[in-house]
Amino acid sequence: MIAISLGTVLGIISGLIPGVGNFILILLVWPFLYYFSILELLMMYVSMASISQYIGSIPAIVYGIPGESSSYPAVVESRNLTSVKQVSEAISGSAFGSMIGGLLVVLLCLFFADQIENIKYLFSTKMLVILLCAVLCLLIFTTNNAISINILLITFGLFLGFVGYNSYLDLQFFTFDIINLWAGLPLPVVLICLFAVPQIFHHINISDKKQKPKTYRLFSLYIMNPFYLFFNTLLGFLGGLVPGLTTVFSSSFAYGVSTLFTKDPVKRIVSSETANNAGAFSMLLPLLTFGIPLIGSEAVLLFLMEQKGFNIVSFSFSDMMPKLAFTLLLVNIIGFLLAWPLSKHVYLFYSIDTKKLMVFLLVCLFAIVLYLGYLNYSISYYLLCFCILSPIGFFLRDTNTLPLVFAFLIHDKLLNGLFRFYQLIM
């Protein structure tokens, strides 16, 4: 219950504050996650990912603020909500649609758990290399930067990852005879400086863009046609498998399809919100079957799980699925209650000065760098890395640095796979 409660709280924060996504929040609670088991880490993560999708629809519809990046379609259509009735239907319909979408995906995965389990037996060194390269290529074309920028970011990420002593090639790479650098750059510092810092600075002025809140009632529940709910769930499930985009693609995909069939802004919003909650769980399947993370927060989750001994060969998806299903059943009920009956209390959160909150988060992240440096007996080294990398993060504040971070996180798996693949064909 501690893992679920922590995930729920983090999901609420992630869904309400633009720029403070699941990636940054995992970094903020990193020291506490060392005490979680593999199952608890998964329970915490699925709770956070699911709740953030529920909560993100509220500020998107009421304030025109995309709390979650997957809520942009709701922000766009919220401008077309012209009556209290429509706003009320969008709020309740999104909450109910998200619950149905989330539960349908869980039931399908529970039913097909054995078949999903068998997928991992297709795993091989060759497939690992192909999948990692495919994900990198998709990031180049799907991340919202120029293609040339994405290529440079991936190159820089791989460069940072290769810093240190390479056992495969038996050589030092940019260590400058500094003993600490033999083990490579510290992962938490790189993630904080090159992803969290740019995200926070990019959204530091978001409080200036908040629109006048819309009025709505909570007495009636809007339920979309069951066929459309199932259809949007399917779209969201498929969209969640797209590397780098996952729930963002799920909601945009479903929204784009809905514009072909209806002009009703309520139905368009409900379609996108149903889909993004379906994608919140399906995006975990490549991680749990092949050990391939699709987004930055999953890569951090994988790193933490591997510290606990996670290995896709020995990991049993079918054994773990019932426990995850119970977690998601509970979380979807909580999410529905938060996103509909309790949504009226969101205004209390937006009385907080966003700029001060962002500065507070930066201070917290800096404190975590120092704390992790203390745990590793390398405070000065962690501090030096922070001072060198954080200005780079600030410079990249208007750039989506996901390709850079993702390349850094998977460099070891990619190099390991390429080296073994080379040995196999020689």
> Does residue 267 have a pLDDT over 80?
yes
Average pLDDT, the chain: 80
Query: b/e for 364-382, b at 16 or more Cβ within 10 A?
Result: ebeebbeebbeeeebeebb
Of 276, 385, 349, 365, residue with least CA distance to 25: 365
How many residues would you count in the chain?
A: 426
> Does residue 307 have a pLDDT over 80?
yes
* Residue at 376: amino acid letter: N
Least confident of 30-34, 125-129, 175-179, 362-366: 125-129
Helices H, strands E: what count in the chain? Answer: 21, 2
Q: How far is Cα 335 from Cα 54, in angstroms, rounded to an integer?
A: 6
Query: Can you say how many angstroms the Cα of residue 133 is from the centroid of all Cα atoms in its chain?
Result: 20
**Per-residue model confidence as pLDDT tens digits over 416-425:** 777 776 666 6
Q: How far is Cα 319 from Cα 10, in angstroms, rounded to an integer?
A: 26
* Joined tokens for residue 263: 């002009």
* Joined tokens for residue 361: 């988060």
Q: Please report where in the chains the tokens 């079918």 appear, as a residue.
A: 318
**Per-residue model confidence as pLDDT tens digits over 201-237:** 876 655 455 556 777 777 778 888 888 889 989 888 8
- pLDDT at position 120 is 62
Which residues, listed in sequence order, are joined to residue 173 by a DSSP beta bridge? 164
Of residues 294 and 38, more confidence is placed in 38
Most confident of 50-64, 82-96, 334-348: 82-96
> Does residue 123 have a pLDDT over 60?
no
- pLDDT at position 151 is 92
Task: Please say whether the beta carbons of 414 and 135 come within 8 A.
Answer: no
Which residues, listed in sequence order, are joined to residue 171 by a DSSP beta bridge? 166
Element (H or E) spanning 24, and its range? helix 22-28
Return all residues near 225 (Cβ < 8 A) that are at least 6 apart.
Answer: none
**Per-residue model confidence as pLDDT tens digits over 62-83:** 877 766 667 778 877 888 888 8
Return all residues near 198 (Cβ < 8 A) that are at least 6 apart.
Answer: 393, 394, 396, 397, 398, 399, 401
Task: Please say whether the beta carbons of 409 and 293 come within 8 A.
Answer: yes
